[in-house]
Amino acid sequence: MTDNSATAPERVATHRTVLMCRPNHFTVSYRINPWMHPDVPTDTSLAVRQWETLYAKYLELGFDVELIDGIDGLPDMVYAANGGYVLDGVAYGAKFQYPERQPEGPAYMEWFAANGFTVAEPVSTNEGEGDFLLVGDTIYAGTGFRSDTASHDELRKLYDREVVTLKLVDPAFYHLDTAFAVLDSNGGPGSVAFLPKAFDAASLGILDERFPDAIHVNDVDAAVLGLNSFSDGKNVIIAQRATDFERQLTERGFAPHGVDLSELLLGGGGVKCCTLELRR
């Protein structure tokens, strides 16, 4: 096997500011995605301990981490990425598809307003940064299970950026950030990783054309939400069990950091789900 690490480009870390929510109220009491099984017991204290390792890793890497208080009765609020999309100091609020999560939208918008962001209330159903990911100056926007394509039009008008629609077709990968990872937010042919089978043919064509050197993950790593990761351009925080993805990242010159969020996986979320980037 060829060792690509010797010729991998020098990766540069960029400072990140993120919003997180401690999972003090985490449980699985309903089923709105294939990962959730209310009959399987969950351990809230374990979820908190695992989340704390991710929080500590971000602090170790020099990130600024803001916190929003969780609300009793909203167990999925820990998945902060779904709470909105923040770019250019403007927070586009979330409008959740399922009633169980709908109160999260106003809670996050209240936090955004209280912390100096301009809040844009959504008209269309969307689940925030779970389905909207920035690469270079382009927003890649998922649809198929949660966010309506009409929300993509709202993004175009709000941010005056190119918005590229990507259609998801596998119910296990219902948000874009479960099947598509931004490794270098500056963009480039190898700046992302994705799971090809999660997209329809047209979307896969777009990804292959724009990112010919992308990392493709295998089914095993995808099944532990290995792609639900967060990168500062050099350091990539991933699911600990995504070992082949870790190998590929290392060969490309990235520094992967594996964390165990297996308890939060029971709700259908991983590293990126717990992480909402705040771009002022």
Domains of the chain, by residue range, sit at 14-277
pLDDT band at 7 (very low <50, low <70, confident <90, very high): confident
Q: What pLDDT is recorded for position 152?
A: 98
Q: Evaluate if pTM is beyond 0.85.
A: yes
- Tens-digit pLDDT profile for residues 150-179: 999 999 999 999 999 999 999 999 999 999
pLDDT at 2: 41
Q: What is the DSSP letter of 98?
A: S
What pLDDT is attached to residue 5? Answer: 46
Q: Provide the pLDDT for residue 35.
A: 87
CA dist list (Å): 149 to 69, 163, 165: 30, 10, 7
For residue 187, what pLDDT is reported? 97
d(CA 30, CA 190): 38
Note the pLDDT tens digit of each residue in 173-229.
Answer: 999 999 999 999 999 999 999 999 999 999 999 999 999 999 999 999 999 999 999
Tell me the percentage of the chain whose pLDDT exceeds 90.
96
Q: How far is CA 168 from the centre of its chain?
A: 15
* Residues 6 or more apart in contact with residue 68 via CB below 8 angstroms: 19, 20, 21, 77, 80, 83, 107, 108, 111
- Catalytic site residues? 175, 273
pLDDT greater than 60 at residue 6: no
What is the residue-averaged pLDDT of the chain?
A: 96
Does 264 score more than 90 pLDDT?
A: yes
Task: Please tell me the CATH superfamily of domain 14-277, with its number.
Answer: L-arginine/glycine Amidinotransferase; Chain A (3.75.10.10)
Residue whose C-alpha is closest to residue 167's, from 120, 132, 203: 203
Q: What is the DSSP letter of 232?
A: S
Whether 1 has a pLDDT exceeding 90, the answer reads no
- At 79-121, the pLDDT tens digits run 999 999 999 999 999 999 999 999 999 999 999 999 999 999 9
Contact 166, 206 (CB under 8 A): yes
